[in-house]
Amino acid sequence: MKKKTSLGSLVRDLLFKKTERNRLEEHVVKLLEINTALNSELNLKRLLTLILDSVVSLMGAERGFLVLKKNDHYHVEVARNIDKEEVRRAEAKISKGVVHKVLQEGRVLLTDSAMDDKDLSAFTSVADMKLRSILCSPLKIKDSIIGCVYIDNRFQKGTFSEDDRIFLDFFSDQAAIALENARLYEENERKRIELQELNIKLKERLEHQADEIQVIKKALDSQRESYKLKYDYSNIIGRSAAMAEIFRLLDIVTDTHYPALIYGESGTGKELVARAIHYNGSWRDKNFVSENCAAISESLLESELFGYEKGAFTGADQRKIGLFEAAHGGTLFLDEIGDMGLNMQKKLLRVLQEGEFRRVGGREPIKVNVRIISATNADLSQLIREGKFREDLYYRLKVMSICVPPLRERREDIPLLVDYFLAELANESGEEPKPMTPEARRLIIAHTWPGNVRELKNEIRRMYALAEGDITRGIVGDLISPSAPKGHRGGDPFEGKTLENVEREAIEAALKRSGGNKARAAKDLCIPRRTLYNRLKKYNIG
């Protein structure tokens, strides 16, 4: 491969040649002019045409072809003749064999007569088109070949000289740089236009979103106005859409004195709802009395509700006032009304219809004005079909009805409840609230909570008792374990117990399970061994 010649050395060599000095000087001047033009032209299409017209004119060629690489294939980008006209069907008028050879070898190819060249004459295109003078130079950018400049003369042999080869080799380098600059400029310009269009679309979208936000804001303001509450329900924690609907219904129910029936799974907070109705209503200064119908037998329930006279039965050594009398002018809350026996249902219906009752063993009717709020986790309609609940009583109790959603249907309220219970426990113990790690919080939010808010409260109480510092994933671990104590599911094993009671019982149970092995007990409780030793000493557990 011949060593490339710089423009400076080329000019010096040419100036010292005696033959054709004027022609070569003109070529140098023309080459410098073309080089200046190449560096100033940034339109790729115009640049390609300028390159080819300049080469054809400078070299005295009949035709010129500029081949460029596109998507891993080479094709004729521009084809021009000596009259600066476009060559039609250019792909069929060029020797692809010659182009391929130049692109593969990466060096200038010069032939006086391709038909007489033993290497080139083997190409079908050379023989078919009877090609003679050909000069082809690769276009290089660094180590990459991006195409080639191909000029020929089909009618004359020896059209191009060695000086022409040197000229075209140098010119091709300059042309390749100019092409790359123009390509980069056009690419940047395309990206600038795309960015400009994207900015316009973004601006339009933002304007559209701003309009949408205004519409949504107006809708929310309107909805908020419709949900504007008359009463305070701060003891019922929740900001979900489901709870907002509950609060709206409470405002309606609270303004009436009609009986109300509250539906909901165990642990959803039905008694809290009942208390909210009472303490926000006009009877707030009167008594709120509650009874769980499932907790006592039917005979005892009658005595509890209506009271009894002295001597009414064995052990009745004095008159007792029943819950109806105690709630006179206020509210009587009957929880788990679905578990009330049919005979007791009949007596309750009579009180609701007539507004009076008799104490057990009594003869005189007693007039009462009591609002009945009842609650159930059972399907009363199904109990009616099974003959276990009176239909007439059902419609007496269900003048107003509220359905409290389970915790799994208002997960967005769980973080609020967690923070509320943590603050409540901290206030109870006189400590700063114990923080909960994000991972522990995620586990709690992901849990299904079959025991609803009551279960959540009991679990928070357990975690708070066991945590020495932060409430971590390890402490929450039992919550999602199949072996978690059943007592932590739905019931209220901690009712009436202090944190110290809960903590002591948990430690004693863990020691019992581990057979007295303190290390295993600490692991079971998900607390450090040192913490366990401190608690053993605190509670004097041997």
Please choose, from the candidates 183, 107, 189, 96, the residue with its C-alpha nearest in 3D space to the C-alpha of residue 145: 107
Q: What is the CATH number of domain 241-405?
A: 3.40.50.300
8-state DSSP, 121: G
With bands split at pLDDT 50, 70 and 90, how would you rate the model's confidence at 491?
A: very low
The pLDDT assigned to 367 comes to 94
For the residues 421-429, what does the mean pLDDT come to? 89
pLDDT value of residue 186: 79
Q: How confident is the model at residue 19 (pLDDT cuts 50, 70, 90)?
A: very low
* Residue 213 or 83, more confident: 83
Is 70 exceeded by the pLDDT of residue 523? no
Band (429; pLDDT cuts 50, 70, 90): confident
Buried b (16+ CB within 10 A) or exposed e, 398-415: eebebebbbbeebeebbe
C-beta of residue 29 within 8 angstroms of C-beta of residue 49: no
304-314 average pLDDT score? 86
Write down the mean pLDDT value for the chain: 82
| 321-378 confidence digits (pLDDT tens) | 899 999 999 999 999 999 999 999 999 999 999 999 999 888 889 999 999 999 999 9
pLDDT band at 305 (very low <50, low <70, confident <90, very high): very high
d(CA 160, CA 164): 6
Instruction: Indicate whether 391 pLDDT > 90.
Output: yes
What confidence score (pLDDT) does residue 136 get?
93
CB atoms within 10 A of CB 444: 22
Average pLDDT over residues 270-279: 92
Q: What is the pLDDT of residue 536?
A: 85
- Residue 269 CA to residue 381 CA, distance in Å, equals 22
pLDDT score for 473: 84
- Domain extents in the chain: 7-188, 241-405, 408-538
Burial, 126: exposed, middle or buried (Cβ in 10 Å; 0-12, 13-18, 19+)?
A: buried
Distance CA 323, CA 332 (A): 7
Topology of 7-188 in CATH? Beta-Lactamase (3.30.450)
Average pLDDT on 378-403 reads 93
408-538 topology per CATH: Helicase, Ruva Protein; domain 3 (1.10.8)
At residue 1, does pLDDT exceed 50? no
pTM to 2 decimals? Answer: 0.50
